[in-house]
Amino acid sequence: MDSEMRQYLQTSATVDCDDKAVAAFAEGHTGNSTDPRERAVSLYYAVRDGIRYDPYTIDLSIEGLRASTTLKSGRGWCVAKAILLAACCRATGIPARLGFADVRNHLTTQRMRDQMKTDLFFWHGYTSIYLEGVWVKATPAFNIELCERFRLKPLDFDGRSDSIYHPFDIEGKRHMEYLAYRGEFADVPLDQIAETFRREYLKASSRNQADFDREVEQETGGI
């Protein structure tokens, strides 16, 4: 394996795949399978549904973004969950990296949109996993309960086809629109993300004081 590929198997500042808890979580969700694709699929669902999506947990620090931090808290935003999935894949010997794109109409609440003053979400995160000779995109951000509340079809992942973004809800209405590709990286391009967030989300600096679960319940009528 060349040096280019090895970096996607190694631990890094945020993708701490050598953390004991991360390694145990990965091992516990891959069973006895020796097939990388089966392991990756199992890890995808473990992170998607086992870790709650919460956009108010954004912490643009190394410690705040680490896979082990997200695993311990049991919740995280899209980038944090993508990091955790990448770490789990690397812990089981599957190359993985982090991908980013800008999207419109990201899954969120009206209160958060009002605070942000925009429906554009920059640096939406996903995990790119090397399986059967190709890189496959997987987005473990939105747990199944959240999708059901917002009447979205959960993103499935089979390890062969890209699984990114929710273009339509279950009624066929447009939900998420892909706008711009930011690239794929061995670790989080933290400085670039922080600079964009400072420029675009300055007025939303108070968002971390909110309770996303409560907002979802109020907006969806507790369904």
User: Which sign does the torsion angle of CA 102, 107, 113, 119 carry?
Assistant: positive
182 part of a folded domain: yes
Q: Which of residues 200 and 208 earns the better pLDDT score?
A: 200
- The pairing of beta strand 134-138 with beta strand 120-131: antiparallel
Structure tokens at 26: 């990965």
Q: Are 115 and 204 in contact (CB under 8 A)?
A: yes
- In angstroms, the CA 129 to CA 96 distance is 4
Position 120 confidence tier, pLDDT thresholds 50, 70, 90: confident
Q: How far is CA 109 from the centre of its chain?
A: 18
Position 51 confidence tier, pLDDT thresholds 50, 70, 90: very high
Structure tokens at 36: 């990388």
* Structural domain span for residue 32: 3-206
Q: Kindly tell me if the per-residue pLDDT of 223 is higher than 70.
A: no
For the packed helices 36-50 and 78-91, what is the interaxial angle rounded to 10 degrees? 150
- In angstroms, the CA 120 to CA 92 distance is 35
- In angstroms, the CA 119 to CA 122 distance is 10
What is the Rg, in whole angstroms, of the alpha carbon atoms belonging to the chain? 17
Position 4 confidence tier, pLDDT thresholds 50, 70, 90: confident
217 part of a folded domain: no
pLDDT in tens, 191-200: 999 999 998 8
The least confident of 34-43, 115-124, 154-163 is 115-124
For 81, residues 6+ apart whose C-beta sits below 8 A from its C-beta are: 47, 48, 51, 53, 70, 125, 140, 141
Q: Kindly tell me if the per-residue pLDDT of 108 is higher than 80.
A: no
Q: Residue 202: what pLDDT?
A: 66
CATH code at position 171? 3.10.620.30
221 part of a folded domain: no
78 part of a folded domain: yes
Rounded mean pLDDT of the chain? Answer: 87
Q: What is the mean pLDDT of the segment spanning 110-119? A: 71
The least confident of 27-36, 79-88, 196-205 is 196-205
212 part of a folded domain: no
Q: What is the mean pLDDT of the segment spanning 100-124? A: 78
Q: Kindly tell me if the per-residue pLDDT of 27 is higher than 80.
A: yes
pTM over 0.75, yes/no: yes
Domain count, the chain: 1
- In angstroms, the CA 126 to CA 140 distance is 7
129 part of a folded domain: yes
